[in-house]
Amino acid sequence: MRNGAVPDVVIRRLPLYLRTLRQLRREGQQAVSSEELARFLGTTAAQIRRDFSYFGRFGKQGYGYDIETLIRELEAVLNLDRTWDVALVGYGNLGQAIAHYRGFEPNGFRIAAIFAKSPEHIGQVVNGLVVLPETEIERVVRELAIRIGILAVPAEAAQEVADKLIAGGVRALLNYAPVTLHVPPGVVVRDIDPIGALQSMTYYLEPQEPRPSADGTPAPDGLNLAAVAAEAKRQASR
């Protein structure tokens, strides 16, 4: 671990800056001011300058930042000037979606091992990788010197899987399971928690009854959803 000089909340914001800068670069832009970046991200120029100030060499206030340089600096700070191998554990619906996601490699991550529990999944070949049994996690992760694990397993299994990954040398866990993992010092965890995110948004919503959709087919009078879909299909296939 680096020493905690830079608050974790700042570190968490850097990837967002990087993503935005890469987008601007794709659009052919070469320089950007903290004000413009702030508008893009719905934050303030002051916060962006404050965040960057932790990494002295970013500072080019007034003139705006050179996008190419800033991208390289951020990649260096985040250790993204290289590709990281990742172990994926869990091969249900979510694990399969993650295994097929095309967004990892362009962003510095490569799924190098996939582990599953169910015999129907073990032995399958995905993107040239053989799906391995979870019993092999510690050994394989150590052999491949993998430092990052993605947990796409049920809540009940998450802690045990995390322990195996950590025993094999993993030091960073991306956790999709709805549980709070307990990990030793030196291991960092980020939770992907869509339920928590939804539950933190309903606070802001007017508590108003939606139309009932008890039986799972929420078609109100006058709107035949099946017909809507069928008609759209016809038009699409013309």
Site for its own copies in 111-130 (CB under 8 A): 112-113, 119, 122-123, 127-130
Minimum CB separation of residue 69 from its own copies in Å reads 18
Site string for its own copies, 41-80 (x = CB under 8 A): xx----------------------------------xxxx
- Which two three-digit tokens encode residue 196? 């928590």
29 binds its own copies (CB under 8 A): no
- Per-residue binding string, its own copies, 183-202, x by CB under 8 A, is -----x-x-xxxxxxxxxxx
Q: How many CB atoms lie within 10 A of CB 73?
A: 19
User: Which helix (H) or strand (E) is 198 found in, with range?
Assistant: helix 194-201
The only residue of 31, 45, 144, 157 in contact with its own copies, by rule CB under 8 A: 144
Closest contact distance (angstroms) between CB of 203 and its own copies is 5
Residues touching its own copies, count (CB under 8 A) = 104
Among 33, 108, 138, 157, contact with its own copies (rule: CB under 8 A):
108
CA distance 109 to 176: 17
Using CB under 8 A as the binding rule, the residues of this chain from 152 to 181 that contact its own copies are 171-172, 174, 178-180
Element (H or E) spanning 225, and its range? helix 225-237
- Tokens of residue 31, six digits: 């320089």
128 contact partners, CB below 8 Å, separation of at least 6: none
Instruction: Evaluate the CA torsion angle 169, 174, 179, 184 in order and state its sign.
Output: positive
